[in-house]
Amino acid sequence: MKRKFCLIAVVIAGSVAAGLSYYVNSGSKADAHIISSYVPDKTYGNAGIGTEKSSGELLEKPLKKPSENSHDISREEEQSDKTEEKINISECSIIVDDVEYSGEFTEPSIKVMHGGTALKCGTDYEIEFDGKTDRGAGKYYFTVTMTDKYEGSIEKSYNVIPQRVSFSSVNTRVSDFELNWTASENVDGYEIEISPNSDMTEQETLVIEGGDNTSYTKTKLPWNSTYYVRIRNYVYDENGTEKIYSLWGDIETVSTKQVEVIDGVTYIDGTLIVNKTYSVPEYYGSGLDEDALGAFTEMADQASADGIYLYIVSGFRSYWTQYSTYNYFCSERGISQADRVSARPGHSEHQTGLSMDINSTSFSFEDTPEAQWLDENCWRYGFIIRYPRGKEEITGYAYEPWHIRYVGRELAEELYNSGLTLEEYFGITSRYDY
């Protein structure tokens, strides 16, 4: 055993000596790397020497000597790589939401995106607003400047839109409707859409210049038709060329009046209409309407309790009775004056059984307590003063404080509170065409 151990030791020692002798004799530092590159294999131990499995196998070629400037070159390459990684703002998308005017400056929502990723303000970019103190509705600007691994800057704009406006009321008539709204502050005009469809398709667009406008009337519409309407306002930009719109207001449904002609008698939303434009047939009517008579009785009872005595001096009149009455006035005053105080046959409300002359047909009735009570209270029982003062050109007749017309309690109250006549309320005329 001692002989074998000695033999192995001699072989190893000889190999190391031969290697050192080669290094000394050659004088080549580069070749010396052959020795220094050897790392004993931890798995196979020294048994791995000279085998393919040995991680300590001798290199076949000498290694290059590292350059003295190798570390500097590496830093330059890293810096070069960093410069190449800079992303320009042109490769980013900027998303800006408009802001509704609120009376003070409100920052818009701004997002800077790159490759589907939202960048961070203060880290990846900075925002600077234009500094304007007047933050009314209009166009404003801001600058986005990229930082860190991003570069470049760009100026973008956003809109402060006017506050939304909606219709405050909608008044419908037979063949037109009136739209009303409250004027918006500091706007240049309004835009209205009118459509026969609830989704606002096939719409007509109306532009109303001037922020002080508060109403618009659409005329010459067919009876029994329904429309959908909405409104928005706008301001012009600083150049006066681009309109900046508010959001649309609520969609309103508006219908022209429901008009029916039954056996020659015209009804608008269920209310029988007779005046100089609309007539009834010769043989229509046979006496006072039961509902009208009942309402008068109730009214007269209450008036009596208040110390007022009311009675009917003229109720139902047939076509031929009205014919005689009208001809009398024509003979006394002429056709022009007769048309102011008396209806032509077929055009009298008395023929409908819904109208009555109370107490007197003399103008002296106007100054009586009965006339005053009637004017202030008849609406409570479904009546209206049919031909009020100041509306002569609308009704077609002179003021008659004694002439009342039954229209039902709901409509009577609405007419009384609004001060409108039937012609104004329904949007109809009262003119003879012959």
Q: What is the pLDDT of residues 174-198, one digit of tens each?
A: 989 999 999 998 899 999 999 999 9
Pick the range with the lowest mean pLDDT from 29-43, 182-196, 319-333. Answer: 29-43
Whether residue 44 contacts residue 53, with contact meaning beta carbons closer than 8 Å, is answered with yes
Pick the range with the lowest mean pLDDT from 99-108, 180-189, 274-283, 363-372. Answer: 99-108
Read off the pTM. 0.62
Q: Is 419 helix (H, G, I), strand (E, B) or coil?
A: coil
Query: Of 344, 355, 349, which is closest to residue 433 (Cα–Cα)?
Result: 344
Domains of the chain, residue spans: 87-160, 167-257, 260-426
User: Residue 295 and residue 299: Cα distance in Å, rounded?
Assistant: 6
Specify the pLDDT at position 104.
Answer: 76
In what order do the strands lie in the sheet containing 265-268? Answer: 259-262, 265-268, 271-273
- Residue 65: pLDDT band (50, 70, 90) is low
CATH domain 260-426 topology: Muramoyl-pentapeptide Carboxypeptidase; domain 2 (3.30.1380)
Tens of pLDDT along 276-321? 999 999 999 999 999 999 999 999 999 999 999 999 999 999 999 9
272 pLDDT above the threshold of 80: yes
Whether residue 325 contacts residue 336, with contact meaning beta carbons closer than 8 Å, is answered with no
Positions marked active-site = 400
Specify the pLDDT at position 45.
Answer: 41
CATH superfamily of 167-257: Immunoglobulins (2.60.40.10)
The mean pLDDT of 212-237, rounded to a whole number, is 94
83 pLDDT above the threshold of 60: no
H/E stretch holding 422: helix 422-426
The mean pLDDT of 384-413, rounded to a whole number, is 97
The mean pLDDT of 412-419, rounded to a whole number, is 96
80 pLDDT above the threshold of 60: no
Parallel, antiparallel or unpaired: strands 110-114 and 93-96: antiparallel
- Residue 18: pLDDT band (50, 70, 90) is very low
Taking CA atoms, 213 is separated from 176, 185, 207, 254, 288, in Å, by 19, 11, 11, 20, 47
Tokens, residue 329: 């006035």
